[in-house]
Structure 1
Amino acid sequence: MEMARTVQQLFNLEGKTALVTGGSRGLGLQMAHALGEAGARIVLSSRKAQDLEQAAAELEAAGIAADWIAADCADEQDIHRLAAEALGRLGHVDILVNNAGASWGAPAEDHPTAAWDKVMNLNVRGYFLLSQAIAKHSMIARRSGTIINIASIAGLGGNPGAMKTIAYNTSKGAVINFTRALAGEWGEYGIRVNAICPGFFKTKMATVLIETLGEDKMAAHAPLRRLGDDEDLKGITLLYASDAGKHITGQWMAVDGGVSALVGG
């Protein structure tokens, strides 16, 4: 009888490859660090080459093998180019992190159609197209792979009246059910698909909100009385990506200090 692996062996990603979109900063770069620290070879992607070059250098300085490809995940041709180049450099992709995203603040009654389309195109359509491309040309044939979609606690319900981000909330709700549907369909190929729902983190995207409301006030809404930091997505990312989570698919996990556990949270 084969002996069960140790925890260290289950979480080990040596020999694995990962493509992380929106990976030049914030949550994407944090997740890239987690995957790389566990042994994976990383390719980062976002729109700006200069940001990517700096992020890859940061990973390399930490002893992580990292490369980058500038691409716009709202553009279908760019998505296919990104998939082809990533596969060309890595040979195959074991782990895909769909993290590139956009938000837009406007009252629902006045929300611009173009802004709605921009958010939905990147946050939902982009996830689908890149997942499709990577699966068709790598994961399905290998009958193995894991996809991690970044949703949000904004996808679990509405917002307080001061936060008018209906397109963002709608898109992240779609990501959660996209995750479930894709997991159900691609499970037969050995592909696992899961989602992470971050709460408020100290990121560039949240800067305006933090400055407007105040960090202390925002943190007070969470049972843990804090915002997410540059370590808080590492554990769940590694669980989803590694064999430690090999029997987990079609699931979402909120990483939000307990906000979503509250009634009306």
Structure 2
Amino acid sequence: MKGNKLVALVLHMVLALVALVMLYPFLWMVFSSFKTNAEIVQNPLSLFPKAWSPVGYRNIAVLGGNSIWHYFKNSVIIAVSISCLTVLATSFGGYALYRNRKLPFFALIEKSFMVSMMYPAVLLLIPLYVVVVKMGLYGTNNFGGIILASSTGAWGAALPFFLAKQFFASVPYALIEAATIDGANEMQIFRRVMLPVMFPVLATSFLISFLTSWGTWLPVLMLSKDMSTYTLAAMLVNLNSDLGVDLSQTAALSTVLTLPVVLVFLITQRRVMDGIAAGSVKG
């Protein structure tokens, strides 16, 4: 018994050490946002600042002529819109494959989502740019092109699609048959029968998509005509210049960008795990 307790103690100590190693870069970023550039350069591995300074946050209060809250608002609008569009498209797609698997090209569509998980998203930028321009969604204060391009499978639609598909496969087909006998059409079956029972999967898909799209910057930079549609992530990339990098400013903006998604995940992690479990059950 004592031997088992000793092994458990050693194991927990090792796991705590691993957790500390994984957590250290995040803590370093947060504390470095309160340091000056000189202190960061002189003591790059130190964690706590010698003198707490808000200079980094003062420097990011206005970026590119816009308030930091302007870019925060853009991030929220784009991330929420991408998440809603992704959940809507993947839930409809998963239901369609569940109901009519033998229809032409449905098997190909299903496999294409798997390919999208392995395909480098950067290779789609030029085709997406051409599509966005041809649709008239490229312009000042126009989020449409960014949202449409970022909602593609290459930027995180594959996992919500498979969660929805696997969840539908676990639903007893007797529910569908009963609704069909009562005269319900496909949209009524989806809205009144499926949606109420798949809410955990929908919530999980939304959160996964939100957490993924919050840090998306490449399509934003590619499809923005000016900084009016930049997000926090795009501005973070834009901080670097030929004149050098402001480390304190970069750490401050990185903290502002990271903390919201960390808090969202900590608050919703149980629901995310439950939704993944619900969507991974194969009937």
TM-score between both structures, scaled by the size of structure 2: 0.24
Q: Which has the larger radius of gyration?
A: 2
Larger strand proportion of the pair: 1
TM-score between both structures, scaled by the size of structure 1: 0.25
